[in-house]
Amino acid sequence: MVATEARNAKHEHHEEVEVVLIGGGIMSATLGSMLAFLEPDWRIVLLERGDSLAPESSDPWRNAGTGHSGYCELNYMPDPGDGARAASIARQFLLTREWWAHLAGEGLLDPAAFIHATAHLDVVFGARDRDYLRQRYTTLQDDPFFRGMEFTDDPAAIARWAPLVGEGRVNGEPAAATRMDHGTDVDFGALTKALVRVIERAGGESRLGHEVRSIERARDGAWLVRGRHGQQRFAVRGRFVFVGAGGYALRLLQKARLPEVRGYAVLPVGAAFLRCANPAVVARHAAKVYGQAPVGAPPMSVPHLDRRVVEGREFLMFGPYATFSTKLLVHGRLTDFFRTLHWANLPVITAAMAQNLPLVRYLIGQLAAGQRTRFRQLQRFYPDADPRDWELVPAGQRAQLVTPDPRRIGALRHGTELVVGAGGGIAGLLGASPGASTAVPIMLDLLQRCFPELWRARWRHRVDEAIPGRTAEWTAGRVEESLRRTARALDL
């Protein structure tokens, strides 16, 4: 590899930068904004293969826009007596809010462009799920992050909280709901673009239409990032590289020959939503309402009926409906998935699939579902829905992470995983939800692992000033103070 590099070096010019960010989504933008804050003299270059920023999972129509805080996501708490993961997600999102609030206070973000207050509700049907939700509420009501949560199994109260959900029900089926008033709806596409402007304001650059084809390590430990921009080739040499390329991140880390991803694989899962723009309908639903996922469904397939605000307009979305493609990006290639496969990860992904046959059956059922079946799923939440008000829109491609496991050969992982290689010189993010909402804690972890000396010498204190909750003891008073302060800064 070094010999190849030496031969290529004779025929190409390597642009020298401190940091190369691969991918123009929320992860690269978050890391870049933090590095621009900590080291404004560093030269940062962001490379995006698409012709706009946030073209994939960060685009507002390719995610649910939920500020994931554990308030309504039942998949974070399969055991209603154990609220640890839900509380962890709530804490991570609150840290993310603190970073956004800091940037807004510095005049670098306009909150009205990307975040809006939206109540977060759970609504479940049937005696079994009603009892589950009651126990979940009992577990969470004393947790500082969930103070103020309300529970009801009164149909009239549910109809007041979520009129579209409560009306039109005639069968008397048991139902229950919880409500948290200080949830949020987030336009991660608008946020991504705003964070990239923070990078550019500090002298960094974002380059669109730049597709990375290879990543190689140089003799001195720097990284050579090569690719194509239209018909032209480019080469950038960076001291640090972050791969935030969504579903394609694994393939790029494989190309970089990182031993840390040996045996790793990804399972592509796509999605679609039903969208409503009828103002008379939209005006009657001011919440994000989550339910229980079908048996075997992946975490990103929990059904929910959401109010969305995108570019100043209000919409409703329902879904997601699972789709399948061998692409790892919406704008990817059908060969993407197959290029991630090799002898070291074939047994891993085979074992993971064999252990998750309900997921396989769920995906097959979703793919076989027709328009009427999809609409009946919406009517489970909104009985009086009119098909004429709704259109099916494609959402993003997710790459569900599969990793080696000493007991099971391979295991399907939920959430995200930060991979750090080469002594901290390169890092990448793999996996799916709730990554966007927890981007700031993920990047704080990256800063400490990849730049330990700088972190100890001068970064830690500046971060603690900007994000005071990082080292806080999260008492009820501390949570309430952070929610109140960030709500004020973000105009919530």
pTM attached to this predicted model: 0.92
Is residue 338 a contact partner of residue 326, using CB atoms and an 8 Å limit?
Answer: yes
* Mean pLDDT lowest among 242-246, 293-297, 455-459: 293-297
Is 80 exceeded by the pLDDT of residue 116? Answer: yes
If DSSP codes are grouped into helix, strand and coil, which group holds residue 255? Answer: helix
Q: Computed over its alpha carbons, how large is the radius of gyration of the chain?
A: 23
Residue keyed to tokens 């879904």? 319
Tokens, residue 197: 């402007």
Q: How far apart are CA 254 and CA 344, in angstroms?
A: 12
- Determine the pLDDT at residue 2: 43
Tens digit of each residue's pLDDT (9 = 90 or more) over 259-277: 999 999 988 888 889 999 9
Q: How far apart are CA 456 and CA 478, in angstroms?
A: 25
Local structure of residue 386 (DSSP, 8 states): -
* Mean pLDDT lowest among 29-43, 261-275, 446-460: 261-275
pLDDT band at 364 (very low <50, low <70, confident <90, very high): confident
Is 60 exceeded by the pLDDT of residue 176? Answer: yes
Q: Mean pLDDT in the chain?
A: 90
- Determine the pLDDT at residue 6: 42
The candidate with the shortest Cα–Cα distance to 410, out of 359, 348, 353, 356, is 348
If DSSP codes are grouped into helix, strand and coil, which group holds residue 308? Answer: strand
What is the arithmetic mean of pLDDT over 123-135?
Answer: 94
150 contacts: CB under 8 Å, gap ≥ 6: 178, 179, 180
| CA dist list (Å): 177 to 71, 120, 163, 291, 299 | 12, 10, 13, 9, 20
Is residue 155 a contact partner of residue 177, using CB atoms and an 8 Å limit?
Answer: no
Is 50 exceeded by the pLDDT of residue 3? Answer: no
Is residue 44 a contact partner of residue 35, using CB atoms and an 8 Å limit?
Answer: yes
For the beta carbon of residue 284, count every other beta carbon within 10 angstroms: 13
* Mean pLDDT lowest among 203-207, 276-280, 325-329, 356-360: 356-360
Which range in 50-59, 264-273, 428-437 is most confidently predicted, on average pLDDT?
A: 50-59
Tokens, residue 163: 């009129």
Q: How far apart are CA 167 and CA 185, in angstroms?
A: 24
| CA dist list (Å): 459 to 38, 43, 444, 448 | 6, 17, 10, 9
- Determine the pLDDT at residue 10: 47
Q: How far apart are CA 406 and CA 422, in angstroms?
A: 24
Where do the domains of the chain lie, and which CATH numbers do they carry?
2-484 (3.50.50.60)
pLDDT band at 12 (very low <50, low <70, confident <90, very high): low
